[in-house]
Amino acid sequence: MPTFDLLSKTRVSSVPGWGVVLLLGWGLLALAGCESEGSGRSGPGGGPGGYPYRVAATTGMVADIVRQVAGEHAEVEGIIGSGVDPHLYKPTSVDVKALQRAEVVFYNGLMLEGKMSDVLVRVARSGKPVFAVTEAILEQEDYVITTGEQHYDPHVWMDVRGWMRAVEVVAEALAGYDPGHAEDYRANAAGYLERLGRLDAYVREVLASIPPKRRVLVTAHDAFSYMARSHGLEVRGIQGISTESEAGVKDIEDLVDYLVAREIPAVFVETSVSDKNVRALVEGTRARGHEVRVGGELFSDAMGAEGTYEGTYIGMIDHNVTTIVRALGGSAPAGGFQGKLNR
C-alpha cells in the first residue's frame, strides 16, 4: 500500500500500477488517531461529549450508512446534497463549519471528494476522528478499479457487495469512538447488512434477465463499472470516471457507431450530470437510422431528495437497477425491490 505526505500530497513510497494522486484516507485515519490518543478529552477525539452526538458525512450515500448504523445515538449531517456532483463540489464556509461542529467525520475516499481534501486534512489535524468508508476496500487491491490514467474509480457504492464493506467500517469506527454503545452499532450494522444482502440478490436476479446482446449500459459518465463488473454488463460512459473530464466530438461519434452496430435500445441520463452529451447520442443515432431512447434518469454520484425512497441507498440502487432492466428489455417486478418485499 502506498503512503503519502498529507501536506504536499506527493507519493513518498509506491507500488507499481497505482496513481500518483490517491486516497488520503489512511493518512487521515493515522493522523486523527495519533492526535486523539491520550487527549483525555470528551467530545471530538475523546468519545462523545453527550447524546446524540454530531456526525458529518460528505455524500448522501455515506450519510445513509452512518444513520443506519448510529441509530438514535448520533445526529448525522450530510454535506453534499441531492443532485450535486461531488467530483466538482467545492466546500463552502457553511460546510466547513458543519465539519468543525461534528464530533466524527466520514467521507467516501478514493478521491471522490478531491476538492474537499484540504479541508478534511485540517479537520483531522484538529484531533477529530475522520474516517474513509472505503478503507477496508483498499485492503483488497484486486477489487479497486483504476483507469488508464492510474486514478481510482471511487464509485464503489454501485456494487452492493462492495458497499457492504463500507458498512462494516462505519460500525467499527463508531464502536471505537463510543465503546459504551459498541454492541448497538454492530447490531444495527448486522440488520442493515441483512437488508443489503437481499437487495444484492434482487439486483443479480433482475439484471440477469436482460437479453445478452443488450447487456450494455451507456451513461453520461463512467460511474457504473463496479456494478457492471459484478453483474456481467458492459458499461460505456461518455465522460470518464470524473465529470471534470470533457467528452470530445470523436467520443460522441464513436459511441454513436457502437450503439448503431450493437442495436442498443436505450441510453441513460444522470441526476447530477448534464444531459447534453446523452441527447447528442440520441440525435446522432437517429441520423444514422437507429432509434435510441433515453431509458430513464439514474442516480450516480448523488441520491434522490431527502425524505424520499430514492433518497436512501437502498432506494437509489432499486431505482437504478429497475430502470436499467426495463429499458434494456429485461423484467423486473412491479414496484421493483420495494414492491417485491411488500408482497
Q: What is the pLDDT of residues 5-20, one digit of tens each?
A: 232 232 222 333 333 2
Distance from the Cα of residue 194 to its chain's centroid: 20
pLDDT at 343: 66
Asked whether 55 and 44 are in contact (CB, 8 A), the reply is no
C-beta separation of 238 from 256 below 8 A: no
Decide if domain 208-342 falls under CATH 1.10.3470.10: no
* pLDDT tens digits, one per residue of 123-150: 999 999 999 999 999 888 789 998 766 6
Q: How far apart, in Å, are the Cα atoms of 316 and each of 131, 301, 305?
A: 23, 10, 10
Query: Are 166 and 136 within 8 A, CB to CB?
Result: yes
Residue pointed to by grid coordinates 465529470: 243
Can 3-203 and 208-342 be said to share one CATH topology?
A: yes
pLDDT above 90 for 170: yes
Reported as a single tens digit per residue, the pLDDT across 186-238 is 999 999 999 999 999 999 999 999 999 999 999 887 789 999 999 999 998 88
Please choose, from the candidates 24, 8, 60, the residue with its C-alpha nearest in 3D space to the C-alpha of residue 272.
60
pLDDT above 50: residue 101: yes
Give yes or no for residue 291 having a pLDDT over 80.
yes
Question: Who has greater pLDDT, 182 or 272?
Answer: 182
Calculate what percentage of the chain has a pLDDT beyond 70: 83
Residue tagged 483504476 (cell numbers): 146
In sequence order, what are the beta bridge partners of 216?
A: 234
Give per-residue pLDDT as tens, 25-75: 444 444 444 433 333 334 555 789 899 999 999 999 999 999 999 999 999
Lowest mean pLDDT, pick from 71-85, 144-158, 246-260, 271-285: 246-260
**3-203 belongs to which CATH class?**
alpha beta
DSSP alpha helices (H): ranges in the chain? Answer: 25-36, 60-70, 93-101, 117-125, 135-138, 160-177, 182-207, 225-231, 249-262, 276-287, 313-327, 336-342
Alpha carbon distance 113, 120 (integer Å): 9
Confirm if 86 and 58 have CB atoms less than 8 A apart.
Answer: yes
Domain spans of the chain? Answer: 3-203, 208-342
Please answer whether residues 215 and 324 qualify as being in contact, where contact means their C-beta atoms are separated by less than 8 angstroms.
no
Q: Which three cell numbers stand for residue 300?
A: 450516480
Rounded mean pLDDT, 91-114? 94
Q: How far apart are CA 123 and CA 194, in angstroms?
A: 33
Label residue 8 exposed, middle or buried (CB < 10 Å: 0-12, 13-18, 19+): exposed
